[in-house]
């Protein structure tokens, strides 16, 4: 236990340095204050030690300027900490647009990870150094938490919805992955490793073993296997929406609300198809897939729908020959690039 | 009519006035705890009502608006009779107090009777949550959620009503042995406040469970 | 003084009526305070025993002493017992019960029979919880997060929930009693600004308890209903929201933690002026800071959920408000320190505990600033950093304040003095043991060691070994007072009415007090509280 004893965690992500800085500054200020108070207390207790039995202390009861000072000054410091913490938080919570998307399904008591190129991992995550990686995560059972101390990131993984986290590794290495939301008997066993690799090594790793092809092609397979293609084919004559150019576009619902077709929207459609019906289509048509598709299969399907375009951040719909059916939007509402999160569940960016 | 020297001054109090006012603070604090308890359920209901509006409207349309409205009317009436009971206690009118308490109790029992009739109806129609639930339309789990809240909240309310009826019976008993007078009738006011509170809770329950489905 | 001895010979609340029934059917707030003291002491050592087993298990990175299942039950039961059956009732139901009527110059609380009922309800709740423990325990964590607690756990969740639910009624009734007493039973002349700060803090504390405990009750009821009826209130598969549970639970539990520290602050606010022989500095600031903590404490619950899936805007609001609630605590610390400065300071055991409280609470509170910083909380949330933070406040704070208060008022309660030398030694052992136990946990947390882990990576072992060593020392520090206080109850030196020469109505009556507290209802004419100046005469007589 002596050999790999350490007092400071490894810092291996693009935000770790800033988290460290905030921590150290807080540490210095709080230590100074704590030590100051402790020293002052002990000094006073010694210097003003009772000298005779019926001695009294000073009878001064208050001092308004001092009272105001030690109310306002700490408050100012606290606001400073708040602002700094909040700014850092925005950075940690918002994945950059060019992040590679990977998918995580947590369950008692393992982590199942899917790469867009098709690799699947259990309790291990290989990522390239120097590129942001965004994880879209869900749980099959209870609440878990994806925690990588070296990256200073952490996010609860919930059943029934998606949460996201992102990080960019800055140096190659092997870093602890912990589940940090108590989830039952083997909670302390729901651990693993994140392997950050140089881009070259990562490319090599990628080529080694994704026999089924990319995640999107697996999703396409499921698209046909579960019968989605029977209805959502590309000239369905208005029975079902065309899923091309759907991903992350605005959708007008029968209720009049406009929402964004994000991961959560797609997942919701599978579990509760009549909750959010696009304008111009009827409810009671799409079957409910609860219990039919697993969380991992849903993520593959999402990958496929993503691949049908448009790519996030682009204005133009992906070209695909026939003009895609513009559905769910009236001209003028929710044009290209406009997003409205009104309909999506609370989700982490 | 009342015995003016019936004083139940407990020894920790200096005057009857102090005792009465302290009892007042006690019951108001207790009612505040009840507000927080029911409040928790109201908040949870509200969260789900906003996330599943159609399912909750659907659930609400299965409520028996006639029985619910009758219950509201009679419960409000019982608050009137209870208020009159408190007033008659202040005046030292023992027999009137007994009569009004008895009417209030009967109304309370009628309320509970109607409530259980409704519960029975819901059971028959497979609307009781849990293993008995069976809903044909869409959003079945969310409709069940509506009924979970219905049974939980009105059930908790019915429990409070039952306790209220027991308290009223206790008051009647004490009145019959002559405990109350013009000078001392604090328990009547205290139980009265409790009864009015339970009534107000019902108004809100009526609003959130029976009214949303009316438009269907 | 001869008068003091003469007063002792008369009947006091301890010997007025004898026999077990006179205790079990008492409505005397002082006896009820002692009944509670028995109960919470038993629960403290039970919860402490579970902690000991946990710390022993954590000596090794692998499971060696207990299985993972058992470990999960241990930390759950430790949390449940310590929070609901020790910390929340400790100071209010023992010292609060004993002192509040005396401090306001009353003969008893507003509702003495309700007070006794509270104790029985508490014991019933404790009994049901112990039943759950004996049947096999609970393994959900004291936080009962769903859907694990409602759908997946196979342990006695409903029984534990019922036990806590019942105990909650006890809490509510006592708090209600205190509020009514403080409002209506003050002696003539005792205006609000003449009240001891102990009363102000207990008042604020009681307001919080009256408002938050019912929310816990309803949340636990919903969990029980979900488990028993198999409906999905918090189950996503059935349209429920597990995060709603967290909101409801923390809406109760965050103010709850303030109800664990406010009583400790109440005690310290009495000890410090007494042993510095000067009025509490900034009386009104300290009084209103208790109210501020009570109010703001209701607005910060979301800081337990920064990574739980709440929106960014919620997180920002809760972080900001969390920083706001730190301000009144800081005000108290500064005022206590100012009271010691230029006082006439004696180092009796109560003062040692009070100074220990101020130092350790400051550290614990400061680490709260780390946790309130959003960007940093992401890293340290759900790690040992949080565990260290709250133990600094609850153990380094509340437990030390409790011990300090017990020693301070021991002469009043028992009529005897405790052995001062041994008591000071114990205080030192507690202080050293405590820091060795919990300081390494800050480091562990920042390194990334998650909470509730029975087994862990080897590189954390050294810090765990240090922590366990500290825990053994801390345990000794707690057993010592148990022994010498029991000894002192029977064989200690007789105490005078006011051995510390402190101000306050409780010191104006004999030690131990008569059943009705005062021979004659006191009339308060002193203009200000903590009127040490007026004590001069009494001091001259020594």
The pLDDT, as a whole number, for residue B216 is 59
Query: Edge-to-edge strand order for the sheet containing A132-139?
Result: A120-122, A110-114, A100-107, A132-139, A163-168
C-facing residues of A in 205-244 (CB < 8 A) are none
Asked if the structure places residue C11 within a domain, the reply is no
Residues of C whose CB is below 8 A from A19: 375-376, 378-379
Q: Is the pLDDT of residue A103 over 50?
A: yes
* A298 or C11, which is more confident: A298
The pLDDT, as a whole number, for residue B172 is 95
Residues C141, C273: Cα–Cα separation, whole Å = 40
Could you tell me which chains touch chain A, where touching means 3 or more CB pairs under 8 A? B, C
Q: Is the pLDDT of residue A197 over 70?
A: yes
pLDDT in tens, C155-187: 999 999 999 999 999 999 999 999 999 999 999
Residues C242, A41: C-beta atoms closer than 8 Å: no
Smallest Cβ distance to B37: which of C107, C112, C218?
Answer: C218
User: CB-based contact (8 Å) between B62 and chain A?
Assistant: no
Same domain for A225 and A344?
yes
Same domain for A276 and A179?
no
Task: Please give the residue of chain B at the shortest CA–CA distance from A283.
Answer: B138
* B180 or A181, which is more confident: A181
Among A211, A233, A254, the domain boundary falls at: A211
Q: Are strands A124-128 and A250-252 parallel, antiparallel or unpaired?
A: unpaired
Give C103-126 as a DSSP string: HTT-SS-S-HHHHHHHHHHHHHHH
Give C522-535 as a DSSP string: -----SSSS-HHHH
Same domain for A148 and A292?
no
Here the CATH number for the domain that contains residue A78 is: 2.60.40.420
Residues A165, A194: Cα–Cα separation, whole Å = 14
The C-alpha of A273 sits at a distance from chain B's nearest C-alpha, in angstroms, of 9
Asked if the structure places residue C18 within a domain, the reply is no
The C-alpha of C309 sits at a distance from chain B's nearest C-alpha, in angstroms, of 16
The pLDDT, as a whole number, for residue A135 is 96
Residues C391, A182: Cα–Cα separation, whole Å = 19
Residues of B whose CB is below 8 A from C523: none
Give CB contacts under 8 A, 24+ apart, made by B164-168: B164/B108, B164/B191, B164/B194, B164/B195, B164/B198, B165/B105, B165/B108, B165/B109, B165/B112, B167/B191, B167/B194, B168/B101, B168/B104, B168/B105, B168/B108, B168/B195
Best of B138, B139, B142 to disrupt the A interface (most A CBs within 10 Å) is B138
- Find where tokens 């605005």 sit: A250
The pLDDT, as a whole number, for residue A184 is 94
The pLDDT, as a whole number, for residue C218 is 97
User: CB-based contact (8 Å) between A291 and chain B?
Assistant: no
Task: Please give the residue of chain A at the shortest CA–CA distance from B52.
Answer: A275
The C-alpha of A263 sits at a distance from chain B's nearest C-alpha, in angstroms, of 18
User: CB-based contact (8 Å) between B48 and chain A?
Assistant: no
Residues of A whose CB is below 8 A from B139: 272, 274-275
Residues C344, A48: C-beta atoms closer than 8 Å: yes
Residues C212, C252: Cα–Cα separation, whole Å = 5
Smallest Cβ distance to B148: which of C176, C213, C233?
Answer: C233
Dihedral sign from CA coordinates of A71, A72, A73, A77: positive
Asked if the structure places residue C16 within a domain, the reply is no
Residues C239, B40: C-beta atoms closer than 8 Å: no
The pLDDT, as a whole number, for residue A237 is 67
User: CB-based contact (8 Å) between A284 and chain B?
Assistant: yes
Residues C184, B142: C-beta atoms closer than 8 Å: no
Count of domains observed in chain C: 1
Residues B139, A272: C-beta atoms closer than 8 Å: yes
The pLDDT, as a whole number, for residue A324 is 36
pLDDT in tens, A218-228: 999 999 999 88
Asked if the structure places residue C15 within a domain, the reply is no
Asked if the structure places residue A56 within a domain, the reply is no
Asked if the structure places residue A54 within a domain, the reply is no
Asked if the structure places residue B27 within a domain, the reply is no
C232 lies in which domain range? Answer: 29-540
Please report which residue ranges of C458-540 form alpha helices under DSSP H: 461-491, 532-540
Same domain for A23 and A169?
yes
Same domain for A301 and A193?
no
* C474 or A343, which is more confident: C474
Asked if the structure places residue B171 within a domain, the reply is yes
- CB count within 10 Å of CB B155 equals 13
Asked if the structure places residue B181 within a domain, the reply is yes
User: CB-based contact (8 Å) between C337 and chain A?
Assistant: yes
A303 lies in which domain range? Answer: 214-349
* pLDDT average per 10 residues of sequence, chain C (542 residues): 53 86 93 96 97 97 94 97 97 97 93 96 97 94 95 94 97 97 93 94 96 97 93 87 96 97 96 94 95 96 94 95 97 96 94 96 96 96 97 97 97 96 97 97 96 95 96 97 96 92 89 87 82 68 48
Beta strands in C365-496 (DSSP E): none
Give A210-273 as a DSSP string: -TT--HHHHHHHHHHHTTHHHHSSTT-TTSS---TT-TT-EEEBTTS-EEE--HHHHHHHHH-T
User: CB-based contact (8 Å) between C525 and chain A?
Assistant: no
The encoded tokens of residue A125 equal: 């995550």
Smallest Cβ distance to C107: which of B11, B52, B144?
Answer: B11
Over range A16-29, report the average pLDDT: 96
The encoded tokens of residue A33 equal: 């204050």
Residues A56, C278: C-beta atoms closer than 8 Å: yes
Prediction pTM value = 0.92
Count of domains observed in chain B: 1
Smallest Cβ distance to A70: which of C139, C330, C346?
Answer: C330
**Which residues are registered as beta bridge partners of A103?**
A114, A136
Asked if the structure places residue C22 within a domain, the reply is no
Q: How many B-C residue pairs are in contact by the CB < 8 A criterion? A: 109
The pLDDT, as a whole number, for residue B71 is 96
User: CB-based contact (8 Å) between C462 and chain A?
Assistant: yes
Among A211, A240, A256, the domain boundary falls at: A211
First to last CA, chain C: 9
Smallest Cβ distance to A22: which of C148, C376, C461?
Answer: C376
Task: Please give the residue of chain C at the shortest CA–CA distance from B41.
Answer: C218
Compute the C-alpha angle B107/B110/B116, nearest 5°: 145
Asked if the structure places residue B23 within a domain, the reply is no
Asked if the structure places residue B53 within a domain, the reply is yes
Residues A158, C145: Cα–Cα separation, whole Å = 12
Here the CATH number for the domain that contains residue B167 is: 1.20.120.80
Residues of C whose CB is below 8 A from A86: 316, 319, 374-375
Residues C183, B25: C-beta atoms closer than 8 Å: yes
Residues 6+ apart with CB under 8 A from B58: B137, B139, B143, B146, B213, B216
Over range A59-76, report the average pLDDT: 94
User: CB-based contact (8 Å) between C232 and chain A?
Assistant: no
User: CB-based contact (8 Å) between A274 and chain B?
Assistant: yes
Q: Is the pLDDT of residue A341 over 50?
A: no
Smallest Cβ distance to C337: which of A40, A90, A186?
Answer: A40
Smallest Cβ distance to C180: which of B25, B39, B152?
Answer: B25
Smallest Cβ distance to B37: which of C110, C217, C237?
Answer: C217
Q: Is the pLDDT of residue A346 over 70?
A: no
The helix (H) or strand (E) run that includes residue A173 is strand A173-179
The pLDDT, as a whole number, for residue A349 is 34
Residues B18, C211: C-beta atoms closer than 8 Å: no
Same domain for A295 and A238?
yes
First to last CA, chain A: 39
Residues A284, B138: C-beta atoms closer than 8 Å: yes
Here the CATH number for the domain that contains residue A240 is: 1.10.760.10
The pLDDT, as a whole number, for residue A326 is 40
Task: Please give the residue of chain A at the shortest CA–CA distance from C282.
Answer: A62
* CA atoms within 13 A of residue C276's CA, in its CB half-sphere: 34
B145 lies in which domain range? Answer: 34-215
Question: In 3-state terms, what secondary structure has residue C455?
Answer: coil
Give C245-292 as a DSSP string: HHHHHHHHHHHHHHHHHHHHHHHHHHHHHHHHTSPPTTHHHHHHHHHH
The C-alpha of B154 sits at a distance from chain A's nearest C-alpha, in angstroms, of 28
Answer left, alpha or beta for residue C277, where phi above 0 means left and psi between -120 and 50 means alpha: left
Asked if the structure places residue C355 within a domain, the reply is yes
Asked if the structure places residue B155 within a domain, the reply is yes
Asked if the structure places residue A226 within a domain, the reply is yes
Q: Is the pLDDT of residue A248 over 90?
A: no
C-facing residues of A in 153-192 (CB < 8 A) are 153-156, 158-161, 163, 176, 178-189, 191
Residues B139, A283: C-beta atoms closer than 8 Å: no
Same domain for A240 and A148?
no
User: CB-based contact (8 Å) between A64 and chain C?
Assistant: no
Task: Please give the residue of chain B at the shortest CA–CA distance from C172.
Answer: B33
The pLDDT, as a whole number, for residue A322 is 36
Asked if the structure places residue C166 within a domain, the reply is yes
> Could you say which residues of chain B have pLDDT below 70?
1-7, 216
Asked if the structure places residue C7 within a domain, the reply is no
Same domain for A70 and A195?
yes
User: CB-based contact (8 Å) between A25 and chain C?
Assistant: no
Asked if the structure places residue B29 within a domain, the reply is no
Same domain for A336 and A223?
yes
Residues A143, C242: C-beta atoms closer than 8 Å: yes
The pLDDT, as a whole number, for residue A230 is 84
Here the CATH number for the domain that contains residue C418 is: 1.20.210.10
Q: Are strands A120-122 and A110-114 parallel, antiparallel or unpaired?
A: antiparallel
Count of domains observed in chain A: 2
């Amino acid at each position: 236990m002596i050999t790999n004893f350490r007092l400071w965690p490894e810092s291996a992500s693009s935000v770790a340095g800033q988290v460290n800085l905030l921590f150290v500054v807080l540490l210095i200020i709080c230590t100074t204050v704590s030590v100051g108070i402790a020293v002052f207390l002990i000094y006073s207790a010694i210097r003003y030690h009772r000298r005779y039995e019926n001695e009294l202390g000073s009878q001064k009861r208050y001092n308004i300027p001092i009272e105001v000072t030690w109310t306002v000054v700490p408050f100012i410091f606290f606001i400073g900490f708040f602002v700094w913490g909040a700014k850092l938080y925005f950075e940690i919570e918002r994945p950059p647009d060019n992040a590679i998307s990977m998918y995580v399904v947590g369950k008692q008591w393992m982590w199942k990870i899917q790469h867009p190129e098709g690799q699947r991992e259990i309790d291990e995550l290989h990522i390239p150094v120097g590129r942001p990686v965004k994880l879209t995560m869900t749980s099959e059972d209870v609440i878990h938490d994806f925690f990588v101390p070296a990256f200073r990131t952490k996010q609860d993984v919930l059943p029934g919805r998606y949460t996201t986290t992102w990080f960019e590794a800055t140096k190659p290495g092997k870093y602890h992955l912990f589940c940090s939301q108590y989830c039952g008997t083997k909670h302390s066993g729901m651990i693993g490793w994140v392997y950050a690799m140089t881009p070259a090594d990562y490319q090599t790793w990628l080529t080694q073993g994704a026999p089924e092809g990319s995640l999107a092609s697996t999703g396409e397979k499921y698209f046909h296997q579960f019968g989605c293609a029977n209805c959502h084919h590309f000239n369905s004559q208005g029975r079902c929406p065309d899923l091309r150019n759907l991903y992350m576009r605005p959708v007008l619902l029968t209720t009049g609300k406009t929402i964004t077709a994000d991961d959560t929207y797609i997942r919701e459609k599978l579990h509760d198809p009549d909750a959010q019906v696009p304008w111009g289509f009827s409810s009671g048509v799409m079957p409910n897939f609860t219990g039919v598709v697993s969380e991992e299969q849903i993520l593959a399907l999402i990958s496929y729908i993503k691949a049908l375009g448009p790519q996030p951040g682009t204005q133009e719909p992906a070209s695909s020959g026939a003009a895609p059916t513009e559905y769910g939007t009236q001209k003028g509402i929710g044009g290209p690039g406009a997003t409205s999160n009104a309909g999506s569940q609370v989700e982490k960016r | 009519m009342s015995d003016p020297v019936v004083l139940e001054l407990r020894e920790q109090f200096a005057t009857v006035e102090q005792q009465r006012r302290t009892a007042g603070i006690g019951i108001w604090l207790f009612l505040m705890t009840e507000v927080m308890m029911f409040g928790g359920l109201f908040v949870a209901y509200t969260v789900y009502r906003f996330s599943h509006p159609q399912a909750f409207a659907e659930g609400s349309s299965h409520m028996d608006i006639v029985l619910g409205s009758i219950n509201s009317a009679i419960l409000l009436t019982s608050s009137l009779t209870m208020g009159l009971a408190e007033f008659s206690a202040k005046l030292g009118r023992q027999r009137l107090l007994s009569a009004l308490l008895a009417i209030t109790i009967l109304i309370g029992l009628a309320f509970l009777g109607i409530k259980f009739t409704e519960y029975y109806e819901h059971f028959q129609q497979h609307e009781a949550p849990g293993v008995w639930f069976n809903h044909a339309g869409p959003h079945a789990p969310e409709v069940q959620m509506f009924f979970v809240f219905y049974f939980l909240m009105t059930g908790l309310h019915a429990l409070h009503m039952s306790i209220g009826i027991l308290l009223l019976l206790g008051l009647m008993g004490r009145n019959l042995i002559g405990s109350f007078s013009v000078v001392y009738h604090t328990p009547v006011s205290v139980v009265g406040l409790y009864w009015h509170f339970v009534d107000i809770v019902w108004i809100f329950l009526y609003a959130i469970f029976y009214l949303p489905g009316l438009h269907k | 003084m001869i008068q003091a001895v003469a007063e002792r010979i008369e009947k006091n609340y301890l010997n007025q009526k004898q026999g077990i029934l006179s205790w079990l059917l008492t409505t005397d707030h002082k006896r009820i305070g002692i009944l509670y003291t028995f109960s919470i002491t038993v629960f403290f050592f039970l919860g402490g025993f579970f902690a000991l087993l946990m710390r022993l298990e954590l000596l090794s990175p692998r499971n060696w002493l207990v299985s993972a299942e058992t470990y999960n039950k241990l930390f759950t039961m430790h949390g449940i017992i310590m929070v609901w059956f020790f910390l929340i009732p400790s100071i209010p139901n023992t010292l609060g019960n004993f002192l509040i009527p005396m401090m306001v110059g009353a003969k008893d609380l507003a509702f003495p029979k309700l007070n006794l009922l509270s104790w029985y309800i508490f014991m019933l709740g404790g009994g049901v919880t112990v039943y759950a423990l004996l049947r096999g325990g609970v393994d959900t964590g004291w936080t009962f997060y769903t859907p694990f607690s409602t759908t997946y756990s196979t342990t006695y969740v409903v029984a534990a929930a019922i036990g806590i639910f019942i105990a909650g009624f006890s809490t509510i009734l006592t708090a209600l009693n205190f509020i009514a007493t403080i409002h209506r039973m003050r002696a003539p002349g005792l205006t609000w600004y003449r009240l001891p700060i102990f009363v102000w803090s207990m008042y604020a504390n009681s307001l919080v308890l009256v408002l938050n405990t019912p929310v816990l009750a309803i949340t636990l009821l919903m969990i029980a209903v979900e488990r028993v009826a198999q409906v999905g209130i918090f189950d996503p598969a059935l349209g429920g929201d597990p995060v709603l549970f967290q909101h409801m639970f923390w809406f109760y539990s965050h103010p709850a933690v303030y109800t664990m520290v406010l009583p400790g602050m109440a005690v310290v606010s009495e000890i410090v002026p007494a042993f510095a022989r000067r009025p509490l500095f900034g009386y009104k600031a300290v009084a209103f800071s208790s109210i501020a903590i009570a109010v703001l404490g209701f607005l910060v619950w979301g800081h337990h959920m920064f990574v739980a899936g709440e929106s960014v805007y919620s997180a920002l609001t809760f972080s900001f408000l969390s920083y706001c609630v730190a301000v009144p605590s800081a005000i108290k610390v500064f005022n206590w320190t100012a009271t010691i400065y230029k006082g006439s300071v004696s180092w009796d055991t109560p003062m040692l505990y009070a100074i220990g409280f101020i130092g350790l609470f400051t550290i614990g509170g400061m680490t709260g600033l780390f946790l309130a910083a959003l960007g940093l909380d992401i890293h340290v949330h759900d790690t040992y950093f949080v565990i260290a933070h709250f133990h600094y406040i609850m153990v380094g704070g509340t437990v030390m304040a409790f011990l300090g208060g017990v020693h301070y008022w021991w002469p009043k309660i028992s009529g005897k003095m405790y052995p001062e030398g041994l008591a000071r030694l114990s205080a030192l052992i507690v202080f050293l043991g405590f820091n060795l136990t919990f300081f390494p946990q800050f480091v562990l947390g920042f390194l990334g060691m998650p909470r509730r882990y029975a087994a862990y990576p080897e590189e954390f072992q050294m810090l765990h070994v240090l922590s366990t060593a500290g825990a053994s020392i801390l345990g000794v520090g707690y057993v010592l007072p148990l022994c010498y206080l029991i000894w002192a109850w029977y064989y200690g030196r007789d105490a005078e009415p006011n051995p510390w020469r402190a101000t306050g109505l409780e010191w104006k009556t004999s030690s131990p007090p008569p059943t009705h507290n005062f021979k004659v209802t006191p009339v308060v004419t002193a203009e200000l509280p903590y009127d040490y100046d007026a004590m001069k005469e009494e001091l001259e007589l020594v």
